[in-house]
Amino acid sequence: MSTTSTETQVVVVGAGQAGLAVAYYLRRFELTPGVDFIVYDRGPRTGGAWQHRWDALKLGSAHHVNDLPGMAEVGLSFETADRSLPARDIVAGYYRRYEDFYGLDVQRPVTVTSVFDRGADLVVQHTAGETATRVVVNATGTWGAPFVPYYPGMNAFRGRHVHTSSYLSAEEFAGQSVVVVGGGTSAIGFLLELEGVAASLTWATRRPVDFRDESELTIEGGVAAVAMQDAAARSGQALPSIVSGTGVPRTRRIAAGVDRGILVERGMFERIEEDGVRWPDGSFTRADAIIWATGFRPELRHLAPLRLREKTGGLTVASGASWQDSRIFLAGYGPQASTIGANRAGRIIARQIMAQL
């Protein structure tokens, strides 16, 4: 791709659920894709973070995926999607048709490396050159910033450290002793997939898993999680984990795993040794691999030149807008992280952008 220098009114960074929702509403406000606003996406294909998900993940076992705004006009809905296919293939295919139908002209693969303040304009530097713009919408999500907590002895471990972001399939752990770390749905999914494939499984969590006696996330649980995220974003705090506010719904599949003794957490190990993990009581568990289902952090490194981060660890954001710089919007950040939250944020952010232009 040739290096270019361009100008536009709005740059959207990321073409996952949040970025596409913003792009849809900007187009509804009669801004022209590729001219008045440009969407950059670093992925080689459509689908946002979903294109990187592991083989066995199906829509029925993943977090609920809501339709993008205007998806019904394309003739698509995740509610009627084939749940026997990998979720990544379904989402990527639907997003491709969505982008084509609305002519969103997403530029990919283009990686945004930094955003600078240059007086009246912002300058977005990326792998295809640089773009001057009045407004930047950051919709990069979290997939590019995997989080692995430090534990003593990590570097001495002779086995494999595998994060959710690099997990491919259960077969790569066939016959191995595996420790899975994390208290959310990804950790649970890995344990259920590895059952009968791995030689042994151990589940380590920092706190007891909050199993909820419902088969899916309730409205109350969702509202509580969003409220926690919103409060943290408005105060510039580091964002809490989603599962800390929602708990884990006790679906039939999960309940059966608990009954079989697969989904029984042990607490957290104290340190890692060459061949396994050592627990606080002094006992030892051998491990060939440790799978870190420990989540992600918002991917914001390219915004570092703008100095938006607070001393308290996060960015101060309300209704998708940065309080530090009114030209910066964060779609899919904090309370907008769910697909339905991203859709609402797309409309709210687009309206605020139009008020500035």
**Half-sphere exposure of residue 54: CA atoms within 13 angstroms, side-chain side:** 22
Is there a common fold for 4-144+296-356 and 154-213+250-292? yes
The string of pLDDT tens digits covering residues 47-100 is 888 787 877 777 765 566 789 999 999 999 988 988 888 888 999 999 999 999
Average pLDDT, the chain: 86
To the nearest 10 degrees (0 to 180), the angle between helices 17-28 and 339-356 is 40
Band of residue 223 on the pLDDT scale cut at 50, 70, 90? very low
Residue 55 CB-density burial (10 A; 0-12 exposed, 13-18 middle, 19+ buried): middle
Per-residue pLDDT for 240 more than 60? no
Q: What integer pLDDT is reported at residue 235 of this predicted model?
A: 55
Query: In 3-state terms, what secondary structure has residue 333?
Result: coil
Backbone angles phi, psi at 353, to 5 degrees: -65, -45
Is-contact 59 53, C-beta < 8 A?
no
| Cα distance between residue 171 and residue 182, in whole Å | 20
Name the CATH topology of 4-144+296-356.
Answer: FAD/NAD(P)-binding domain (3.50.50)
pLDDT of amino acid 1: 43
The predicted-structure confidence for 120-150, as pLDDT tens digits, reads as follows 799 999 999 999 999 999 999 887 888 999 9
Question: What b/e sequence results for 192-208 when a residue is b if at least 16 CB atoms lie within 10 Å of its CB, and e otherwise?
Answer: bbbeebbeebbbbbeee
Domain 154-213+250-292 adopts which CATH fold? FAD/NAD(P)-binding domain (3.50.50)
3-class secondary structure, 336:
helix
Can you give the pTM of this predicted structure? 0.82
SS3 349: helix
Q: How confident is the model at residue 221, as a pLDDT?
A: 42
Q: How far apart are CA 165 and CA 71, in angstroms?
A: 27
> Could you tell me the pLDDT band of residue 237, with boundaries at 50, 70 and 90?
low
Read off the pLDDT of each residue in 21-48 and give the average, rounded to a whole number: 95
pLDDT at 154: 96
pLDDT for 306 beyond 80: yes
Average of pLDDT values for 284-307? 93
Which residue carries 């002793």 as its tokens?
177
Q: What is the pLDDT of residue 234?
A: 53
The CA–CA distances, whole Å, from 311 to 99, 212, 235, 314, 316 equal 38, 35, 11, 8, 11
pLDDT reading at 267 higher than 80: yes
- What's residue 298's pLDDT? 83
pLDDT at residue 312, as a whole number: 65
pLDDT surpassing 50 at residue 220? no
Tokens of 50: 């979903």
What is the domain partition of the chain in residue ranges? 4-144+296-356, 154-213+250-292
10 Å CB burial of residue 295 (0-12, 13-18, 19+) is buried
What is the distance between the terminal CA atoms of the chain, rounded to a whole angstrom? Answer: 30
Cα gap 136→12, rounded to integer Å: 6
